[in-house]
Amino acid sequence: MKIAIPVADGRLCAHFGHCQQFALIEVNPETKEVAPAEYLTPPPHEPGVLPAWLAQQGATIILAGGMGMRAQQMFVQNGIRVIVGVQNDDPPEKLVEHLVAESLQIGDNLCDH
């Protein structure tokens, strides 16, 4: 399992389309071991580009504070599970540890479009 997290200044960026980089973190589903994050600079944000690009990187889940419904549908069409409403300010590896431990804090989708 490979989790994508939009980041700005090393922390979760509230809206995936405005991030500086994506942290890609692999997790062994059997041992729950979380690998160190790999940081990649995304291509320019245009509709449909990021879901396809992250799918090419092997992402299977994206964590985001906010994301519009159209973008969510594009991620799902690319085989990526979407988790929105993440409001925790922990570093990406810590967010993934919370996800694996089923203790990730999820609130409302922070996107209004």
Q: What whole-number distance in Å separates Cα of residue 14 and Cα of residue 35? A: 23
Domains contained in the chain, CATH given: 2-100 (3.30.420.130)
C-alpha radius of gyration, the chain, whole number? 13
Identify which of 112, 65, 74, 68 has the alpha carbon closest to the alpha carbon of residue 92: 65
pLDDT category, 108, cuts 50, 70, 90? confident
3-state class (DSSP) for residue 48: coil
pLDDT category, 113, cuts 50, 70, 90? low
pTM assigned to the model: 0.92
The answer to whether 56 touches 38, Cβ cutoff 8 Å, is no
**Residue 112 pLDDT:** 61
The tens digit of pLDDT for each residue in 49-89 reads 999 999 999 999 999 988 889 999 999 999 999 999 998 77
**Contacts of residue 101, Cβ cutoff 8 Å, sequence gap at least 6:** 32
